[in-house]
Structure 1
Amino acid sequence: MARALRDPMLARVGEGFLAVAVPISAAGDELPSAQVLVGFSEDLVQISEAVVVDLPGPGPVTAASLVGGGERCLLSWRDAAGAARSAAIHGTDSAFVVTEVSPSPVSSPSPVLISPEHAATLLDQRKKGPVVEPFPLVRERADPQVFSYGGRWYLVASDDTNGDNINVPALLIRSAPDLQGLAQAPDHVILSRGEAGLGGCFWAPEVHEVGGVLRLFFAPSVGQASWSTVQCHVMTLSPGGDPERAQDWSTPVPVLDMTGRPLSPEPGRPAISLDMTYLEVDGRCLVVWSQRVVEEEFVGDAELWIAEIDPAKPHRLTSPMVCLLTARLSWELTNDSNCVEGPYGLVSEDEVALVYAAGGVGPHYATGVLRAPRGADLMDPSVWTRASAPLLDSHSVAGQWGPGHVSFAHQGEDLILAFHAKSDPHEPARHTGLRRLPGWKGGQPVLL
């Protein structure tokens, strides 16, 4: 399977732009097939889901160039025998039509002309791109969330000491007067292994205000310390309580479906559930999480699911569960088992963005995004649009491998992005990092 692209090209077509690239192997080798990847963009910010288009003649495709004009563009290349070939490409969505042109005209790449206003908009978006903070902020902490409460900043995360996130002794939290102070702040234990029948893991803790009080969603292992027994749980901070005091948190309880059964994509079959997040949109209280069937030797695909809850009783779903997302894009399928996880919502005036992670816990881990307009029924998977390329991956910032499991917080007019990554692709542990997006006013955040 191709894992990389070369010769990216743009051409003006009608009211938008055609994007073409040549797929190659992850090692940079040419592929034997005569194919290109083609997508369409109206604004050079969002691109349609690219599709593989077969070209006439034998592969591989070399010396490719693209010329735009009118309602089509002309792609020129050389085939396996070195013969010059050209084809016209028509279409602005997944229904691209390729028609070979013979004899092949001589062509060279043409500049893509855009208006000064469009150029200024694109440049302004880049100016508002993130401020890359020193990495890591906190070592051996994964799946991070930072949040502000009572005039202090807090960090909760999975303990990834020495890369072991299974035999974890406790659920930890730390705080500081400012974000950078979290780097040296001491950890406080708010839940220990063995309490409430929990055996370890304590994955992906998130704190949200739900029903007027702070709730902490997380995924501990039940009984033994094993990834195969993790289940979404929630506990509540007492009114006026201190988030760093264990006694101020209620006993954690599992989140159950509307019939009172453990969460499972196939009710009644054993499953794991994790990475639960919460968002309120247009008067609806929603949770999104990842779950998969785990039964004896069978491990199913990890998918994102969504449901409604009563904010006064967040441990019980009040609607049927709906599957929102299944891994199917190439960058999502780099693990032995297909997995999408780590959802987190970002609500603005016009839309809801739901970032998620995929690609396996390692250097191929990356961050994707689903987007839906405000006012839409977010329980309907058809209202969500999945970006075809990751927002954040190992190519985004040098020395940050597998950036993912993103969460957001607001600080004044800035948007704070928390994520984890590895500083070396071969090290076992993941580390917490931050980025600041100045002046974010809605829309898909620029994370690169």
Structure 2
Amino acid sequence: MNFEELNLAPAIVQAVREHGYETPTPIQAEAIPAVLAGRDLLGGAQTGTGKTAAFTLPMLHRLSVGERAKSKFGGVAIRALVLTPTRELAAQVEESVRVYGKHLSLTSTVIFGGVGMNPQINAMKRGVDILVATPGRLLDLQQQGFLDLSGVQMLVLDEADRMLDMGFIHDVKKILALVPKEKQSLLFSATFSDEIRDLANNLLKDPLSIQVTPRNTTVQRISQVIHPVGRGKKKALLVHIINQHNWSQVLVFTRTKFGANNVAEYLTKNGIQAMALHGNKSQGARTQALAGFKSGDIRALVATDIAARGIDIDELPHVVNYEIPNVSEDYVHRIGRTGRAGKSGEAVNLVSLDEEGFMMDIERFTKQEIPVQRFEEFMPEPGERAEPIAMGRQTIWGGAGKPPSRDVMAAAAKAARTEMLQRVREKKADAPQGRGNGNGGGQRQRPAA
């Protein structure tokens, strides 16, 4: 199948071809005809499956053949609204809209937090056909009276599971109350919790459900390896691996923002130009980091899971899990950044004793055994034992054995006390019985017959 067979406008097909694509991905082949037919859509798709084009292409087609209306400000009414969880993803979706719609007379803009509000206010007054936004800034503009969503005909919720993870679900529900009830709605999510399903049930009308690339199969085409490592040797091993293979572009995952900063600083000090990417970075710093990474000026981008969700890089060859995620699905999302569009990719896992249990869960989840390669000089020290991992205010256990956490120690102490009391009772029961001592220490028993 090619894009002409999907009955898209010739101007859209031309733009797609100029961008270097000839054949639609599976989700595009299924979603585009359904959206063109006006169906609501529930899409189960991860990053790298081509889902952005799966909704932007038919959206552009439908808007190009429809009529514009005016907003209450006298400008062009917003006819399509795309909500995304992160600034990076919002910018990339709007860029796709411009790339694929460059031969059409449609207009678009993107709004998100972290940048000045005045240019966004002016854009809303002028009006656009397609608005791509993060929920927080969209509500800011609405509450200040600068937003009119009464003309929305198409609504897209992209990466709904991450919106839930990031605490945006209540903002999303507020936004849904601002758009017309009669509209076409598309919801995409990599995973489906009960709350996401409830949201879909309330939003979508008789939706077509598309599940593309079941979550476990993403990993099959990606080369993966486990490197056991001592707790204090991870950064040195990371430098060794990058230099050994002379990698020019690698995405490194950490568990926390502090960890991302720490690793990026260490890499840079050791001759590997690196930058951290996380929610505390300003929009300018985030844009600079991504641009430098794509151009090759930055060899290593060190990111947290949420920040990395918006990264869209066509040919990313290497992903390193500097810290192993405690949620197996996050592992699939992480390594799905490489090996995209049928290309091969490589995922490297630096596993300390603290994380062996997480890695075992991941292997069970993905139904595979990942090969192990040892670097003897970076192995754990003799006597090193697994320890609980601090995650903000909570502590998680990723060791393969039993955790020596306070809860477990308290349970063990309680069990020991219970056992001791039981022994005391048994001793007293076995002792020769006479008069009670007045303190409840024993009970009278008849002499054995």
TM-score interval (norm. to shorter):
under 0.3
Which protein has the bigger helix share?
2
Give the structure-1-normalised TM-score.
0.22
Larger radius of gyration: 2
Q: Which has the higher contact order (CA 8 A, sep 6+)?
A: 2
